[in-house]
Structure 1
């Protein structure tokens, strides 16, 4: 075997082993891929789409992508900026009716830029203890389709979690409000704008906003969630959710409508890579607006945030990667591209971690807490 081919085979084996390590740690299933601008470098699946039926994950399976949805929303907002239909300093109060943001501290004066940067000083409905039980836990009405403004009802009160405006605080409310701003500016549903502006031009046929667009449910695996002691304390276990393994519950039957523009998209590995490369290569935004997305401010020692995008450092090497991560009820996801280099990575899993604190593994855990990114970049170097 030629040395270069042998090196590639060895790297692919290391990547597959990392997925299998996650399966051994308790994750039901993974789908993952690595690409460059020229070729799909590697794609693999591990584990099961149905723990009780022993059905494997399929390469075309679709998963909830959680907060990676926020990057799609940020793209639409910045396209509207490019079109001169809104400005970064425009406020929520300019676009939305008072009854929409009534009682939500700091919402009316929050600017579009504040919302995109998570610096609006607005509580996240996702952190509200009542919503956690109603939205993901023991009081969830599993088949309920939430209205777009319904989660806002949980934070019509003085803020509890958010710091003063101008300080970093990750808030789903920011992107719910941005979704509503998209609708006010375009007079069109936000999910339709995402479809018209991003999904259709890129040929993303397996991506949709769950609860608001027709599903492709045949390709979606069963959804599972880490039911750690922290999750049990914060959310409780819904009677409809069976514990199929120690600390793993089956949340199939629930939906992502409550997430909407904060985290409600469902997508597949091929679709996600199309979006990643198009965004990276400037096919969705003007150079100025793409620069605004990547106008970094530190959030931790290893994470920066721009407008709808994170920049993270790979373990050990410190190389920088740009993208976003997601965790919702039943799913986790990671999508990043190398800042210096030609490599993009997507990992999806049918297990959620939100409200679960530290868990043995997840999609984001594979990307951020193993040497997956370092191996991916080496694989790209072997495929110039």
Structure 2
């Protein structure tokens, strides 16, 4: 599942024009021949997106994978003050839905014996995680992927996500991955590695750096060659320094402070998010990716087990009690059981995912 909605408590603060939800039916659930069930699912999806639009989201698009068929819906407009409807299949920044892609690459490398999840960060990136109590010798790759490293979340020091004025000033700034990690190294760790859980985008920037160190190629190239090309995800890519989205995309908006006007935040240099949240995609591509991931098409059984081995998402219990985190994916409990997912939010407010 992917949502470009802030994880903060009140939805209208997000104000995003490109909101998407993608879900894959649980393994073993029978959809074939259940047209009435799909019709009900479509009604529910349209109702949910309409409710989001009524709460203040400019436009919303959604897609649900239901066996051999997909249910697609939209609500609202593609931009403020314009009559064009929300595109049903437009591209948008998927934010932290990038993390499952990056985690899958790392797990593939582990399955190939090119690294171990128990390798320390220091072994793979000597001298990168150090200073102010940070110690890469005590942090493993597994802890990076599971957000149990204790490392400070660098996104809180990125100027463009702090205020509307800073966004306009810094939205085109370029960042190298090492510079993003260096922002986090200015701060002491939140806790000793492995003792607690706290969401930190620093973890996935480091994971991307490890991919490059192990393979000699960038995380984005590895995602392309190992995931998006084999799965035919033609609309999923990392834009590098290119700050714009295709013309067919909806505009994105954010409300930086309660009561403020929505600001158009479509233009952004994605290097600020890097491997933590830099990909662009569509709801259709995300459905296909999540289907492949959960059906074991991308990972071997031992790595699938690692992917789904969770810990309590301690600092997200006010979002949904019982939420847990595996290696790049959330387990979200529901009355009927639960589902695997990951939210995303770009630009990222201080509390939300990136």
Shift of 1:267: 0.5
Q: Please name the residue that 2:172 is paired with.
A: 143
Task: Work out which of the residue numbers 38, 45, 51 in structure 1 matches 2:68.
Answer: 38
Partner Cα distance (1:208, 1:121) in 2: 29
Q: Please name the residue that 1:81 is paired with.
A: 110
Paired residue secondary structure (2:134): coil
Is contact 2:131-2:186 (8 Å) kept?
Answer: yes
Paired residue secondary structure (1:219): coil
Task: Work out which of the residue numbers 288, 300, 308 in structure 1 matches 2:328.
Answer: 308
Q: CA RMSD in A?
A: 2.4
Higher mean displacement: 319-328 or 197-206: 319-328
Structure 1 residues 8-31: Cα deviation after superposition (integer angstroms, max 9, x where no partner): 545533331221111111101111
Partner Cα distance (2:37, 2:327) in 1: 38
Distance change in 2, residues 1:173/1:13 (3 Å):
same
Q: Please name the residue that 2:124 is paired with.
A: 95
Partner Cα distance (1:328, 1:310) in 2: 18
Task: Work out which of the residue numbers 147, 168, 181 in structure 1 matches 2:210.
Answer: 181
**Pair 1:320-2:347 in alignment:** no
Distance change in 2, residues 1:250/1:10 (3 Å):
same
Partner Cα distance (2:151, 2:37) in 1: 50
Shift of 1:135: 4.6
Paired residue secondary structure (2:131): coil
The number of aligned residues is 309
Distance change in 2, residues 1:76/1:25 (3 Å):
same
Q: Please name the residue that 1:354 is paired with.
A: 349
Is contact 1:88-1:112 (8 Å) kept?
Answer: yes
Shift of 1:249: 1.5
Q: Please name the residue that 2:47 is paired with.
A: 17
Mapping of 1:187-266 within 5 angstroms? 187-211=216-240, 217-229=246-258, 246-266=260-280
Is contact 2:107-2:303 (8 Å) kept?
Answer: yes
Q: Please name the residue that 1:271 is paired with.
A: 285
Is contact 2:244-2:268 (8 Å) kept?
Answer: no
Is contact 1:70-1:263 (8 Å) kept?
Answer: yes
Distance change in 2, residues 1:273/1:87 (3 Å):
same
Q: Please name the residue that 2:77 is paired with.
A: 48
5+ unaligned residues in a row in structure 1: which ranges?
A: 230-244, 330-352, 358-362, 364-384
Is contact 1:228-1:356 (8 Å) kept?
Answer: no
5+ unaligned residues in a row in structure 2: which ranges?
A: 1-33
Paired residue secondary structure (1:208): coil
Task: Work out which of the residue numbers 96, 99, 123 in structure 1 matches 2:152.
Answer: 123
Which has more strand, going by share of residues?
1
Is contact 1:227-1:356 (8 Å) kept?
Answer: no
Partner Cα distance (2:260, 2:198) in 1: 33
